[in-house]
Structure 1
């Protein structure tokens, strides 16, 4: 055997000379035929694209949707928001007009379903078809006033959270990213704010400037003259005492994020600090900010209700959940539903935001359960 035979004999199938050899090895022939018939082809069965793995945000939302308490809380919060926004105009078109026994005028649902309309002939009525949740001590519709109170609570919560998030992220990021004397100054200022009692500051501010707000801020179109002028003071006071908690959370998270490799890579490549903060630090603060904001909304609503309950917030004829509880507190023995209805709504709102905040915290940080 020469060199040519060696080279050509390795791995090369020998040709079949006659048909007798095929009949001796039928299994091999069938295997070859099947192999040829079932061979994959790009035209017949193209390769399927691999499924994209879910992002961390999508994984967090899946964990949130598996939390039944959080899902129920979201549904309840959405219901209250829609009721506060769209409920009053719809409610004022439901009902039949009647003849007022006092003034003799025809009163339609646009009037007696208004939260500010008083009908002394219909004081302290129970639940009926005309007044779905009854009336208060001066004949005002309880359901209309409750929806107005929900709108007030949600408006104050939104205003407070806007200031809370803006100040908390700005101060927390600056203190955590730069450190040094900037961190020392901002941290000491935050400690001073923590040491000052928040509720006392709200009472002090509304007590001193409440009358001034009634005289000068009632001309603002959004606020109006219906006793809501002090809402700006209440919102400002609550926001001024709420942002230090947000700043502390953001500062701690920023200290961790700035040590990550992608931030170090951006800094090494010569990226400006402002761009690093806006492109890399702030977007990664989403989870901690949304959780802290949700939990703070519950405290804000309770704070606003407490201030109005003390008579320093929304003034009559305005409507607030705390003001409704305060007005009906003296008649709890005779007309208990006037106190129970706003109290139950307030408890449901606070519980809903608290459960939602817990659900968001567990969804975005599963290690918090351990």
Structure 2
């Protein structure tokens, strides 16, 4: 299938892979610096930090898989009919192709065999009946026998458990070979500061087991149910991970240079430079954030509607809207970090070693690079991770009021926006809202817990 498809590079694909390269470069730099390596070793000595990083790694990996796109070509004869209506498909779509194929007619609850709402049908004698129609793509291998569903689900869960244990044993053997060799060369002091590998393996096993169980069961059941048009909610939730990671991660990258430049400049140089920067972010903060973002999004939508010929497909149009939203959020979210860096730089610039550096005639940018910036790193990291969490939540709010990502793009905000009407139904449709909430909650919680540990370790004035 790969030979009959043409790779497509969306703007957000390039940006998220660029972010991945930056993260790898940062890790390499940390590994080559003994002081930084010792600091981050202390970060990962916390069980909470280890668990949080593994969860964030899973989310980011899913986002990367969903950021490698291919375009269907006319001679793609081996592409299934379920994907022909999609102009662009990702590697994640290929792995979840069965979820795209198994689209039902309307709502169905998790692990249900019949539709959630009754349908009016006419009998042979013209009698009107209210019946719950059976689903088309569920439990066909057991002929939709309700009595066999529990046994079948438990059997598939056991297979997922065996697969998770086998994979974990392979990873443990591979890890032990290198870890035990390095442990023999370590000193007694280093051995006392070992990482919580037991918790790491327990977390990895839990993630692998849950993922395998959901994936195996998704071939025969709608694990998280279906929405109004019969689309699988598990597929929607997984596809929404990319949108959440993009908005949270790339927006922080967009706002970081502006916040660093203006915040440090205002705190170090003071005078008229400080006055101008304060006036700038005070004026920007005086405008309600939602209104400012909504106005910018509406202007962007008007421009895109006027120039519809710029986009070759609906996916490219939705991606461009997501890119503009990231830029808009980045240009309006830098003020908080800027104010924090300004205040901290004002404090650091009065410390004795900075005053001594000025007396020795060092240039301002040298002083900033050697003495000011290293003491701001912990604040930058904690602020970025907290802003990441806030931006993931902000996407849900913006989509709820209609100025978020494109309605055709999967996102937790769009799922919550659609669920507000579903919650008023009778019977109530709850699984779309719960699924979006759980996926978003896990991501935000992991980011916040990791940020708390990073702040505690890297803050030079914290009491260890």
Name the structure 2 match of 1:65.
44
Name the structure 1 match of 2:455.
361
Shift of 1:75: 1.8
Q: Within 2, Cα distance between the matches of 1:367 and 1:279?
A: 18
Name the structure 2 match of 1:350.
444
3-state DSSP of counterpart to 1:135: coil
| Native 8 Å contact 1:218 1:224 kept in 2 | no
1:82 to 61, 82, 98: 61
Name the structure 2 match of 1:339.
433
Shift of 1:143: 2.6
Q: Within 2, Cα distance between the matches of 1:110 and 1:182?
A: 50
1:236 to 327, 330, 336: 327
Q: 1:112 to 1:356 in 2, by over 3 A?
A: closer
Q: Within 1, Cα distance between the matches of 2:308 and 2:348?
A: 43
Q: Within 1, Cα distance between the matches of 2:308 and 2:401?
A: 21
Q: Within 1, Cα distance between the matches of 2:247 and 2:398?
A: 12
Q: Within 1, Cα distance between the matches of 2:262 and 2:98?
A: 41
1:329 aligns with 2:423: no
1:285 aligns with 2:268: no
Q: 1:259 to 1:99 in 2, by over 3 A?
A: closer
Moved more, 64-73 or 242-251: 64-73
Give deviations 1:21-54, integer Å, cap 9, x for gaps: xxxxxxxxxxxxxxxxxxxxxxxxxxxxxxxxx9
Q: 1:285 to 1:132 in 2, by over 3 A?
A: same
| Native 8 Å contact 1:112 1:140 kept in 2 | no
Pairwise mapping of residues 293-308 of structure 1 onto structure 2 (< 5 A)? 293-308=384-399
| Native 8 Å contact 1:229 1:314 kept in 2 | no
Structure 2: any 5+ residue segments left out of the alignment?
1-32, 69-78, 86-91, 112-216
Q: 1:271 to 1:223 in 2, by over 3 A?
A: farther
Name the structure 2 match of 1:123.
106
Q: Within 1, Cα distance between the matches of 2:81 and 2:263?
A: 61
| Native 8 Å contact 1:214 1:227 kept in 2 | no
1:258 to 349, 362, 369: 349
Moved more, 228-237 or 257-266: 257-266
Aligned length: 304
Shift of 1:122: 4.1
Q: What TM-score results when the alignment is normalised by the length of structure 2? A: 0.57
Name the structure 1 match of 2:7.
none
Name the structure 1 match of 2:405.
314
Q: Within 2, Cα distance between the matches of 1:218 and 1:157?
A: 29
Q: 1:120 to 1:66 in 2, by over 3 A?
A: closer
Q: Within 1, Cα distance between the matches of 2:320 and 2:247?
A: 12
Q: 1:217 to 1:300 in 2, by over 3 A?
A: farther
Structure 1: any 5+ residue segments left out of the alignment?
1-53, 90-96, 104-108
Pairwise mapping of residues 149-298 of structure 1 onto structure 2 (< 5 A)? 149-213=240-304, 216=307, 219=310, 224-225=315-316, 227-298=318-389
2:227 to 131, 136, 139: 136
Q: 1:132 to 1:111 in 2, by over 3 A?
A: farther
Name the structure 2 match of 1:13.
none
Shift of 1:304: 1.1
Shift of 1:194: 2.4
Give deviations 1:241-291, integer Å, cap 9, x for gaps: 211111111112222333344434443343322333234333332111111
| Native 8 Å contact 1:295 1:353 kept in 2 | yes
Shift of 1:167: 0.7
Q: Within 1, Cα distance between the matches of 2:371 and 2:303?
A: 45
| Native 8 Å contact 1:218 1:229 kept in 2 | no
| Native 8 Å contact 2:244 2:395 kept in 1 | yes
